[in-house]
Amino acid sequence: MIGFTLSKEQILQRQLFREFAEQEIKPIASQMDEEEKFSMVLLKKLQKYGMMGIPYDKKYGGAGSDILTYALCIEELSKIDGSTGVTVSVHTSLCCSCINDFANETQKEKYLHPLVESSKTGCFGLTEPGAGTDASGQKTTAVLDGDFYLLNGQKVFTTNSGFADIFIIFALTNPSKGTRGISAFIVERGTPGMEVSKDIPRMGIRAASNAEIALIDARVHKDNLIGTEGLGYKIAMSALAGGRIGIGAQAVGIAQGAIDEAVKYVKERKQFGKRISQFQNTQFKLAELQTKVDAARLMVWRAAVTKDNHENFAVAAAMCKYYASEVANDVTRACVQLLGGYGYTREYPVERMHRDAKITEIYEGTSEAMKMIISGSMKIN
Q: Which residues bind other proteins (CB under 8 A)?
A: 8-9, 11-13, 15-16, 19-20, 48-51, 53-54, 58, 62-65, 69, 73
CB of 290 to other proteins, least distance (A): 15
Nearer to other proteins, 53 or 242 (CB): 53
Nearer to other proteins, 64 or 193 (CB): 64
Of 148, 236, 159, 258, nearest to 205 by C-alpha is 159
d(C-alpha 301, C-alpha 66), whole Å = 11
**Any catalytic annotation for residue 24?**
no
CB of 259 to other proteins, least distance (A): 17
Nearer to other proteins, 76 or 212 (CB): 76
d(C-alpha 150, C-alpha 20), whole Å = 43
Catalytic option among 19, 128, 364, 368: 364
Nearer to other proteins, 60 or 322 (CB): 60
CB of 16 to other proteins, least distance (A): 5
Nearer to other proteins, 78 or 325 (CB): 78
CB of 42 to other proteins, least distance (A): 13
Backbone angles phi, psi at 219, to 5 degrees: -95, 115
CB of 68 to other proteins, least distance (A): 13
Catalytic residues: 364
